[in-house]
Structure 1
Amino acid sequence: MALVLSFIVKTWLLQAFYIPSGSMEDTLRIDDRVIVSKLTPGPIDLRRGDIVVFADPGNWVEAPVSQPQGTLSTVVRDTLTFVGLLPDTAENHLIKRVIGLPGDHVVCCDVGGRITINGAPIKEPYLKPGNAASEQDFNITVPQGRVWVMGDHRADSSDSRFHDGPKQDGSAGSVQESLIVGRAVALVWPLDHLTWLSNPSATFGAVPPPSSHTSGTSGSTRPSSTATPGATGTTGAGSGSVPGGDASSSTPVGLGAPGGTRLGGD
């Protein structure tokens, strides 16, 4: 019965993820474990500022080291992982913060060095101290059915900015909503990091809906940056990706407390 309940909870309600990288520092740190609610997206809508775990959209996470197959210990481990009692070591998920929703015009940066969404600048208190909003300029409109995600440690996060392809228009770097596992709601391990992961609603409160903003064709208003994106990696769920470690990093995640699904590093 306990195994059945664990499987039901993991499949439909909650899942724990392990953070293997620093791409979401200082909000989430290496070796932290977070609980992810699978009710978002779904019954509960995504919001700008949510921290989400998502499946690798393609080549965001480094290929995992292959594990020997067929032994009894492997079968037992895989079974316990399947029902949610052991960490998942697949490392094919990442964790990042949602910055842009479908239709949003997201630009970096204005003359004050701030990201603007639909023309409104945002102040981001969750950024790792000393980090700029982005060292790489961008001017994108998020396609329908997708979201634009970034790590809180902007100097060490291989996120939407660095996966946008040659067009640099948001089509390649954004993440399909269908790939999102859920929203990180609590940091549960280690105990001295225990906290709710609330949405920073004040940051995005003045952002108008996309329909009220006309997207321009010009780039950011600050001088162009020559910064080079950080090296990529995988993050744990937590991508610093939970759900991603980067050099810039994307993080895979794992299950259990103090275990958890291991996120890919990014």
Structure 2
Amino acid sequence: MGALVAAAVVAVIVRATLVDFHRIGSESMQPLLAPGDGIMVDRTAYRGGEVRRGDVVVFDGRGSFLPYQRPDAVDALLRALHLSGGGTSYVKRVIAVGGDTLECCDADGMLLLNGEPLEEPYVYDGDAASDIRFVATVPEGRVWVMGDHRAASADSRALLGAPGGGMIAVERILGRVTSVVWPLDRAAALPREGE
């Protein structure tokens, strides 16, 4: 019995600090990630490193995508054990980081990142870069996120008028998606752009 408890404690520590597993529940990241996919998340990806444009991240949406909730010790423990909190985690792609200006769209329908057209080969076939016109400057310490399946994604665009403007605080990012591990026929590593 003691070995079982010790193994459970080690598993919780590993999932809370090193790597984690999440299941995709929506179509917003297709074609890269499909509903039902199991993904591995590197919880150490941003310790001492910066979030990069193009990273696919898991973040806690409280305070941006969801109303802010004050955390407490019980909530933190239940989240670490993955007994709660699944409804507050989101998976999206980082499109812009602190200091960037992002605009929709140029005459060709492309997003403009700092005035330059943004090549987005990952966008779901047939989707526009965005059906919502906007101009947003991302403050330092925040990122702008969007789903790859733009027509099926509620993301930073949907929260432009809300507090925080739909931009995610870097400290709310739980980690970077590194691979699909389930189902086995879709298992594949997800390297960072440029690697």
Settle same-fold status: TM greater than 0.5.
yes
C-alpha distance 59-144 of structure 1, shift in aligned 2 (>3 A)? closer
Structure 2 counterpart of 1:8, from 5, 9, 13: 13
**Which structure ranks higher in relative contact order (CA pairs < 8 Å, sequence separation ≥ 6)?**
1
Find out whether 1:132 has 2:132 as its counterpart: no
C-alpha distance 14-102 of structure 1, shift in aligned 2 (>3 A)? same
Q: Aligned residue for 1:67?
A: none
Worse-matched range after superposition: 4-13 or 175-184: 4-13
Find out whether 1:108 has 2:104 as its counterpart: yes
C-alpha distance 61-23 of structure 1, shift in aligned 2 (>3 A)? farther
Q: Aligned residue for 1:95?
A: 91
CA distance in 2, matches of 1:42, 1:3: 25
Alpha-carbon offset, residue 128 of structure 1: 0.8
Alpha-carbon offset, residue 199 of structure 1: 2.1
Contact 2:178 2:189 in 1 (8 A): yes
Alpha carbon RMSD of aligned pairs, Å? 2.3
CA distance in 2, matches of 1:52, 1:34: 11
The two structures have a TM-score, normalised by structure 2, of 0.84
Contact 1:4 1:83 in 2 (8 A): no
SS in 1 for 2:8: helix
Task: Give the structure with the larger helix fraction.
Answer: 2
1:178-215 CA distance string (max 9 Å, x none): 1110111111100011111122339xxxxxxxxxxxxx
C-alpha distance 44-138 of structure 1, shift in aligned 2 (>3 A)? same
Paired AA for residue 152 in structure 2: D
Alpha-carbon offset, residue 82 of structure 1: 4.3
Q: Aligned residue for 2:168?
A: 175
Q: Aligned residue for 2:3?
A: none
Find out whether 1:201 has 2:175 as its counterpart: no
Contact 2:65 2:166 in 1 (8 A): no
Find out whether 1:43 has 2:48 as its counterpart: yes
Paired AA for residue 100 in structure 2: D
Q: Aligned residue for 2:71?
A: none
Alpha-carbon offset, residue 60 of structure 1: 2.9
Paired AA for residue 50 in structure 1: D
CA distance in 2, matches of 1:187, 1:193: 7
Structure 2 alignment gaps of length 5 or more: 1-5, 68-76
CA distance in 1, matches of 2:79, 2:141: 30
SS in 1 for 2:10: helix
Structure 2 counterpart of 1:159, from 150, 155, 158: 155
Alpha-carbon offset, residue 108 of structure 1: 1.1
SS in 2 for 1:31: coil
SS in 2 for 1:130: coil
Paired AA for residue 111 in structure 2: I
Contact 1:164 1:172 in 2 (8 A): yes
Structure 1 alignment gaps of length 5 or more: 63-78, 203-266
Contact 2:160 2:166 in 1 (8 A): yes
Find out whether 1:185 has 2:190 as its counterpart: no
Q: Aligned residue for 1:261?
A: none
CA distance in 2, matches of 1:82, 1:141: 34
Alpha-carbon offset, residue 8 of structure 1: 1.8
